[in-house]
Structure 1
């Protein structure tokens, strides 16, 4: 029996730590207690003080006394009793108007985000215009059209408050949509409506809750203000705003008549604010207890596995992935990836290495069709087997969900923090594989076990934050492999991990490749990692492939392009004598400032005039099929040196 690893111990301790956290806090407790008191008064007020509130007496405008705590109004009615009785109508109107604002705003914001790019831009501009107008003005327009009444006031204030929720919902959706777990859900073919409900809404709850609390207080003040102006509740009904208006006339003889409803308005608004802040902290997805967390949204109906459609592509060589002259084009015409070509054979691990900003991840996301809005992929050929990735169609998009797996750099951002691990792992096989919940759960447990996740039966019931970093990355590999993809894209999967966990993750990728024959596109900036796991390596610089060679040749230092040799010189080796590593002078050019000739020429010690004028093409060298896009290879072998 082996000893438990540090990661397993840490992960196992997570539930206890999470369960021990205090979910209650002082603002939440105070706010709930205050609103509970107000709600109780709303229920009991008309019953207990209703008769007293309507009883007339001969003591008009009497000051505060033991018989009348807040004095009497102009008709001799008890002001305290009327304030308590008015709680019900005031609270009901505020809740209804807030509900209208929340529902209408969230629906509008969601519809704007789910729409196409042009409709979205137009919708956001219209929302901005609506937000720029004070809510009271719109409410005044509505009440002028419908007439002064509680119903018209509620509708007007509710509609006037909806643009704030619409803008926040649309902005939050755009922000959360850029995270890795949403990109993974898109790759899995999750419909946009379900993507919004299942993956985006839970991660937008905290700011929306805060805005609900602010909106409740704002609506309360707005409704009371309209009633104070005589445009809201009309006699014989009354709310706190109309009582405040009535008390203004006797402010200098009996201030308590106005102070009573004013204190009620302020106290209720403050309690609403405390509740919002307390809930935002208490129900933070990263802090909640698994035993008391809200259940994930129900899964979508099962669908049958998608079948391949479209014309048969040239697959005479059986290549899993073929890209010819692939470019990523920004809206302004800039090409951060420019004319890249690659071909991946079945069971091959191909590494893509280069400095940050060289276009590695954009290349990978182009293949997976996960580019963000704005950039677009262009290519002479871009296919996955017989599937045209430039225009896969509906059936092809479903195939992408099962034939491509993606492992992201940051395991923390790879999972939705608001959903348990099991539901996220099984989403693809349930949606596209036709599996029921129990079978999919068993498959997920087995896949977690295959990547050496301890106690997988427990892990599928936990939230991602309850796992250690290495455990999350193993779970990410399990999620990517659950559909048994033909192509696995590993986008810097070891960058955020310590060296011992890195070695374990690399071993898992090699094991998966050997066991299942999965083709792997491995993205990294670390030459040492690439040479350890890959069969063949593409070296990228400034959005272009500058050299292609086998990992064995790279390990041996037989690279021929000056940039690749500079990267090797800057890579520490255990066998090297102690000393400073070589540094590459200068910086890579920006995509829009790429020179006409060789992009590396400004930093290259071998550059000549031809390098600055003409872009070099790939030049074959050696017996292993290596190529380097360098003019120097056409001058002499000695120019770039022999073996390192």
Structure 2
């Protein structure tokens, strides 16, 4: 919880009242036993069970002890036990909440099922059950209330961890080879801390009420010790003779519980409570893919028949359906297509960053000459972490907002190379300097929100250069950036590639951006590759979809009086992908033959392939680099 959040919470009327009450109770908890501890234990045989009097404001108990003093002295024991029980609930809840992110898929589901089952039972019933199990007394009551409150807190942690685990900075940490424990401690928990603090504050008030209830029933604090709940039980026997004996501890319980709850609500108002498994499928390799595999002598990436499937109501759906791709060392390849064509999901599958419920399969998946199929997670993480760099789409979510940028970049060297903190940070500063970051020493000490969008993308590229990448996958790195910054980022990628010799895969929905720096373009539609061709042969594009993408790019000669060219219709839903050619419903050349699935076949010039039954041969109107955007 940031300091400004606490200050804002205390300035609100609710927060001010809650803070005043909590401070008052804290002072009583410290000084009351010191000042009145002995007096509260003194018995007076001449004043047994008296009502209110000038000497005894709230009367005396059956042994003649002053009730008012006992209520004040009981503050320390009552609050201390409640806070101890809350700390047990929070500790157990955090452990159970993060276990699904640490354990494997099956073990994680088992933990989630156990937590869901425990949450189904009322907390009071669980507390009574655990009180019997752990034994009668203050120790048993603390354990009982702590265990009873843990399931609801664990559910909160699980929900918030799930919401954060899909962020780009978490994926970046996974690519960097960060261990699961470090991932939880450094990237997940710090970014869900605010709702956890709010819930823990409210839970303290609930624990106080629960503890008083157990003591009232005789299951909590036992004589000669006493807390508010035990004093309430003792006063209830004489409530008609001396109502103050029961009302005073009851009011103390209500006020303390209300103070914790109000503080939690005040904080909540201010804060604004606010990878897949590779498997070898039992299918025959595609003959065309086998033919292409002969070109991979100097390839950094070779993938054949890549498929990504997700469970659906009808069994499963495949957003990525049989992608085969070869990337040569030092080559720059662009992957283009509309949103939903499977571009980003293909990249995530190659980096082993797909969601837990995704099933990723391939007949071949080689990276830097080594197969990733059949390897353990640790081996794959070590190989990808040192040789693969990812530049994610949204620069705002690419970094952990609770960590300084320099330490995030340095984490790559610490996790994969075992460098010390200072050595890793020095290298991170050097990498920031490498990507032309102004004043890198100062920027390394800043948080991501202090960076502009272009600076965050530069820092993300710098993170990828902490090792020596053989392949850089840039997933729409210029999204949400203005044209000037966009060109700077693309030039930086080009400079990094020239200096490191790495291959670059640039993913974009904008064919104009891709044509500025790529040597070869791969066009995807509905999870499949529909065309592959050299960038200097765009005018000879054969697939109607590629030609439609090119036709939708305006240039300086476009008539501004006419509507911009668009592609009619929309991409198909992977769940209901049409049989045969997926582009047929939007294609003006479609006929009955398009009911069969076309395969990539050589067309036109050398190294050009298209998956189309009716490839176009006539050249497009002049499609020059200058018209598309110019070279970087």
Same-fold status (TM-score > 0.5): yes
- Residue of structure 2 aligned with 1:445, choices 429, 434, 457: 429
Say whether 1:102 aligns with 2:90.
yes
- Residue of structure 2 aligned with 1:157, choices 141, 145, 150: 145
Say whether 1:83 aligns with 2:71.
yes
Confirm or deny: 8 A CA contact 1:355 1:525 kept in the other structure: yes
Residue 288 of structure 2 aligns with which residue?
none
Q: Identify which range, 98-107 or 361-370, moves more after superposition.
A: 98-107
Q: Could you give the per-residue CA deviations for residues 66-115 of structure 1, whole angstroms, max 9, x where no partner exists?
A: 43333333444322101011112212211221122122222233334322
Say whether 1:541 aligns with 2:525.
yes
Residue 171 of structure 1 aligns with which residue?
159
Confirm or deny: 8 A CA contact 1:377 1:390 kept in the other structure: no
Q: Could you give the per-residue CA deviations for residues 171-226 of structure 1, whole angstroms, max 9, x where no partner exists?
A: 32222211111111111111111211111111121121112112211110001011
Confirm or deny: 8 A CA contact 1:405 1:487 kept in the other structure: yes
Confirm or deny: 8 A CA contact 2:134 2:143 kept in the other structure: no
Distance in 2 (CA, whole Å) between partners of 1:314 and 1:283 is 58
User: Within 5 A, what are the aligned runs for 1:435-584?
Assistant: 435-554=419-538, 557-578=539-560, 579-584=562-567
Q: Could you give the per-residue CA deviations for residues 364-408 of structure 1, whole angstroms, max 9, x where no partner exists?
A: 111111111111222222111212122344434302101000000
Residue 53 of structure 1 aligns with which residue?
40
Confirm or deny: 8 A CA contact 1:408 1:491 kept in the other structure: yes
Q: Could you give the per-residue CA deviations for residues 490-509 of structure 1, whole angstroms, max 9, x where no partner exists?
A: 00111122222112111111
Q: For 1:426, what is the secondary structure of its paired residue? A: helix
Confirm or deny: 8 A CA contact 2:101 2:180 kept in the other structure: no
Confirm or deny: 8 A CA contact 1:314 1:386 kept in the other structure: no
Residue 628 of structure 1 aligns with which residue?
610
Structure 1: where are the runs of 5+ without partners? 1-17, 287-312
Q: For 1:156, what is the secondary structure of its paired residue? A: helix
Deviation at 1:33, TM superposition (A): 4.5
Residue 300 of structure 2 aligns with which residue?
320
Q: Could you give the per-residue CA deviations for residues 293-347 of structure 1, whole angstroms, max 9, x where no partner exists?
A: xxxxxxxxxxxxxxxxxxxx98863011111222112243321111111111121
Deviation at 1:438, TM superposition (A): 2.4
Distance in 2 (CA, whole Å) between partners of 1:137 and 1:94 is 18
User: Structure 2-normalised TM-score?
Assistant: 0.88
Say whether 1:246 aligns with 2:238.
no
Deviation at 1:252, TM superposition (A): 4.1
Say whether 1:359 aligns with 2:339.
no
Deviation at 1:583, TM superposition (A): 1.9
Distance in 1 (CA, whole Å) between partners of 2:346 and 2:166 is 17
Confirm or deny: 8 A CA contact 1:60 1:76 kept in the other structure: yes
Q: For 1:405, what is the secondary structure of its paired residue? A: strand
Confirm or deny: 8 A CA contact 1:569 1:581 kept in the other structure: no
Q: Identify which range, 497-506 or 429-438, moves more after superposition.
A: 429-438
User: Within 5 A, what are the aligned runs for 1:195-274?
Assistant: 195-274=183-262
Say whether 1:39 aligns with 2:22.
no
Q: Identify which range, 478-487 or 430-439, moves more after superposition.
A: 430-439
Go from structure 1 to structure 2 and tell me whether the alpha carbon gap of 1:351 and 1:641 turns closer, same or farther (over 3 Å shift): closer
Q: For 1:326, what is the secondary structure of its paired residue? A: strand
Residue 290 of structure 1 aligns with which residue?
none
- Residue of structure 1 aligned with 2:568, choices 573, 582, 585: 585
Go from structure 1 to structure 2 and tell me whether the alpha carbon gap of 1:468 and 1:70 turns closer, same or farther (over 3 Å shift): farther
Confirm or deny: 8 A CA contact 2:368 2:470 kept in the other structure: no
Go from structure 1 to structure 2 and tell me whether the alpha carbon gap of 1:20 and 1:105 turns closer, same or farther (over 3 Å shift): closer
Confirm or deny: 8 A CA contact 2:81 2:142 kept in the other structure: yes
Q: Could you give the per-residue CA deviations for residues 221-249 of structure 1, whole angstroms, max 9, x where no partner exists?
A: 00101111222222332210111222333
Go from structure 1 to structure 2 and tell me whether the alpha carbon gap of 1:446 and 1:314 turns closer, same or farther (over 3 Å shift): farther
Q: For 2:192, what is the secondary structure of its paired residue? A: helix
Residue 354 of structure 2 aligns with which residue?
371
Q: Could you give the per-residue CA deviations for residues 19-72 of structure 1, whole angstroms, max 9, x where no partner exists?
A: 999845316665455333323222322222223323344445544454333333
Deviation at 1:486, TM superposition (A): 0.5
Confirm or deny: 8 A CA contact 1:558 1:643 kept in the other structure: no
Confirm or deny: 8 A CA contact 1:285 1:417 kept in the other structure: no
Deviation at 1:170, TM superposition (A): 2.5
Confirm or deny: 8 A CA contact 2:33 2:73 kept in the other structure: yes
Q: For 1:330, what is the secondary structure of its paired residue? A: strand
Confirm or deny: 8 A CA contact 1:209 1:280 kept in the other structure: no
Q: For 1:160, what is the secondary structure of its paired residue? A: helix
